[in-house]
Structures are given as C-alpha cells and as structure tokens.
C-alpha cells in the first residue's frame, strides 16, 4: 500500500474512530495515538508483520500511520488539536528528610529534522538524559549531601519517576473496560495530584485530607482491576475486603501493606482531618499508595502497551 492509499484508508476510517473517542469523552488533543491504535485494530485485517502487536512496534506504524492520523486531527480541528499544556505529573522526594515536589514530564521528545519532525517517547522510567535537578522544584545542591544520603535520594527519585510514569501508562492502555470503569480509571491519578498538594502544604489537617485522596486512589485501582478481572462492580471503602478479593487473581499481592493502611472507618476520619498527626505519616502513606497502585495497575489487561514507545511526529504549525 502506498503512502497515498494509506492516507485514503485512514481518512475513510477516522470519522468513525473519532466519533468513538468523542463519545468516550477523550479530549481532542489526546486522541491521535489512541485513534492510530484503533485504526490498526479495526481496519487492518492482515499484514506482513505477523501480528497487530508487531505492527504497532514497526516503523510502518511509527513513521507511517501515526503521522497521517496526527495530520487528520490537525486538518479537522486546527488549534483544538494542540495540547493546551504538556502533561506533567507530580511526585515527592525527601532530601534531608523533608518532602519536596518534583515535576515529571509524561513524555520526552527529540528533534529528528529541525522544524519538520520529532520523536515523541512515552517512557516508563527515568531516562539517561534526565536528572533530579531537572525536575525538583526546590533548588538543591546534591554535592552537599553526604554520599550515602545522596545515593538514597537518587534511588528514591528514580523509583518515584518510574512508578509514576508506569501507573499512568498502565491506566491509559488498559483494555476491556466499560465507560463507567474507564472514567473511574482515568480519575485515579488525580487523587495523587490532590494528595501531593495537600501533603506539601505542611499542615497536618490538610495532609490528613491528602491521605483520604490516597485511600480513594487505591480503592479505585482495586475496583477497576476487579471489574476487569471478574466483570463485577464492587462497593465500599474497605481496602482489606477489596484486597482479599483481588488476591483471587493476584496471589502475590502484598496484603500486609494494605493492612498497614488506615481502615475504612479511619479513612473517613482522614476525610475530616482527624487522623494524621504529622506530615511524615502522610508521606509514608504516599509511598505505600504509589507502590500498591503501581503493582496493581501493572496487572491490568492491556491489548497494546505503549511503555517506552516512540513515534515520529510531523511538527504541527504551532510547533515550528
């Protein structure tokens, strides 16, 4: 199939694909990659790549389909196809034992041809070109830290970046979810963002509310996983009950970590700022929540995985 025949095929299918994404309330600027994957799924019945999974890893997808789908969105929506801002995730690291905000880009980019094309990558870990000083929001002179403390901090930073990026990629690519469960999944990370803001207020009552947000993030993650696993809708705030049920499908889940968190009744007290006595408690809750949600989302069924996938994108007019 020539480039022009491929463009014709994409142009033919895109109105229907875009309608599906619109009905799912996916923002216009966030549709092109999902649309390209749907195109492969519904429009390509056979190829020389052996499987659709192999096609998604190929240059034919990265350099052929993705740019043409991106062009379709720009031609139809113009400036509305432009992401109003790059997606940046929040995280917490603890130099000298004090929680500090880090800002984690969801993607990285590398120019291929100046003013023409660039590679867009969806990393699930810290990249060689990235460092703590790039992301930490409070200036820190690393060389002033004792060697052992510096090593611990950099290891913590690496883990926070990797788990944060992986959680969001796992959620983004989760498959076989109905609309209600999809919306629940898409809201999981927002609870982390709110929690981090509350924790970094350094006010105990606000940090307590942040822990309630973390409870909701874990709760929703378990409910999304269980809905995908057995098709049932679960209710209530009891993490132990949800965790025990999840163990039917994930025997290696760490129930001891879940049991170490506040009970459902205590979680309600968190909501009313009645439980956390110092910010360190909230930071500990954040670390456990991040690890649990990372682990559980890694078990979600995903038809396609975008971890560390790179796409060659034609630069839109606004990027030149």
Torsion angle (degrees, nearest 10) of CA 52, 174, 121, 35: 60
Mean pLDDT of 4-10: 83
Mean pLDDT of 279-306: 93
Positive or negative, the Cα torsion across 197, 187, 39, 27?
A: negative
pLDDT at 11 over 70: yes
pLDDT for the residue 315: 60
* H/E element, 121: strand 117-122
Model confidence at 320, pLDDT cuts 50, 70, 90, reads very low
At 227, list the tokens: 């809905």
**Residue spans of alpha helices (H) in the chain:** 3-23, 32-43, 52-57, 59, 66-77, 132-135, 147-172, 179-186, 188-199, 204-230, 239-246, 255-259, 264-271, 279-298
Distance CA 165, CA 124 (A): 5
pLDDT at 84 over 80: no
- Sole residue written with tokens 């619109």: 22
Mean pLDDT of 106-132: 86
pLDDT for the residue 314: 65
Distance CA 66, CA 93 (A): 36
- Concatenating the DSSP letter of every residue in 59-120 gives HIIIIIIHHHHHHHHHHHHGGGGS-SS--EEEEEE-GGG--EEEEEES-EEEEEETTTEEEE
CA nearest neighbour of 249 among 301, 183, 174: 301
Question: Could you tell me which residue, 36 or 25, shows the higher pLDDT?
Answer: 36
Using a pLDDT cut of 70, give the percent of the chain over it. 94
CA nearest neighbour of 53 among 66, 37, 35: 37
Mind listing the domains of the chain with CATH numbers?
A: 3-83 (no CATH), 86-150+304-320 (no CATH), 174-300 (1.20.120.330)
Lowest pLDDT segment from 70-84, 141-155, 181-195: 70-84
pLDDT for the residue 134: 93
At 21, list the tokens: 């994404």
pLDDT for the residue 70: 87
* H/E element, 314: strand 309-314
CA nearest neighbour of 163 among 285, 295, 299, 301: 295
Contacts of 199 (CB under 8 A, 6+ apart): 92, 99, 206, 207, 210, 279, 282, 283, 286
pLDDT for the residue 318: 41
pLDDT for the residue 268: 79
Model confidence at 319, pLDDT cuts 50, 70, 90, reads very low
pLDDT for the residue 4: 54
pLDDT at 115 over 80: no
pLDDT in tens, 55-77: 887 878 877 888 899 889 989 99
pLDDT in tens, 240-272: 999 999 999 999 999 999 999 888 888 777 777
What value does the mean pLDDT of the chain take?
A: 88
């Amino acid at each position: 199939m020539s480039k022009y025949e491929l463009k014709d095929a994409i142009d033919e299918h895109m109105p229907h694909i875009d309608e599906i994404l619109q009905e799912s309330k996916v923002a216009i600027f966030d549709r092109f990659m999902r649309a390209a994957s749907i195109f492969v799924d519904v429009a390509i019945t056979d190829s020389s790549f052996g499987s659709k999974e192999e096609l998604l890893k190929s240059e034919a997808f990265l350099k052929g389909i993705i740019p043409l789908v991106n062009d379709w969105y720009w031609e139809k929506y113009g400036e509305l196809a432009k992401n109003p801002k790059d997606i940046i995730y929040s995280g917490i690291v603890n130099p000298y034992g004090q929680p500090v905000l880090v800002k984690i880009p969801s993607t990285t980019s590398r120019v291929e041809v100046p003013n023409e094309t660039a590679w867009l990558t969806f990393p699930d870990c810290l990249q060689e070109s990235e460092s703590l000083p790039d992301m930490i929001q409070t200036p820190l002179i690393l060389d002033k830290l004792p060697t052992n403390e510096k090593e611990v901090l950099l290891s913590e930073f690496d883990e926070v970046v990797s788990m944060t990026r992986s959680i969001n990629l796992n959620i983004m690519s989760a498959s076989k979810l109905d609309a209600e469960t999809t919306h629940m999944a898409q809201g999981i990370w927002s609870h982390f963002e709110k929690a981090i803001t509350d924790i970094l207020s350094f006010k105990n009552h606000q940090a307590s509310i942040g822990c309630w947000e973390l409870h909701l993030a874990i709760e929703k993650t378990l409910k999304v996983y269980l809905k995908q696993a057995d098709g049932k809708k679960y209710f209530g705030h009891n993490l132990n009950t949800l965790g025990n049920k999840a163990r039917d499908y994930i025997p290696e889940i760490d129930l001891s970590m879940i049991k170490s968190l506040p009970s459902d009744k205590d979680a309600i007290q968190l909501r009313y700022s009645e439980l956390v006595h110092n910010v360190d408690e909230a930071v500990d809750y954040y670390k456990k929540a991040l690890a649990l949600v990372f682990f559980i989302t890694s078990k979600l069924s995903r038809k396609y995985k975008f971890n560390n996938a790179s796409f060659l994108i034609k630069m839109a007019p606004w990027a030149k």
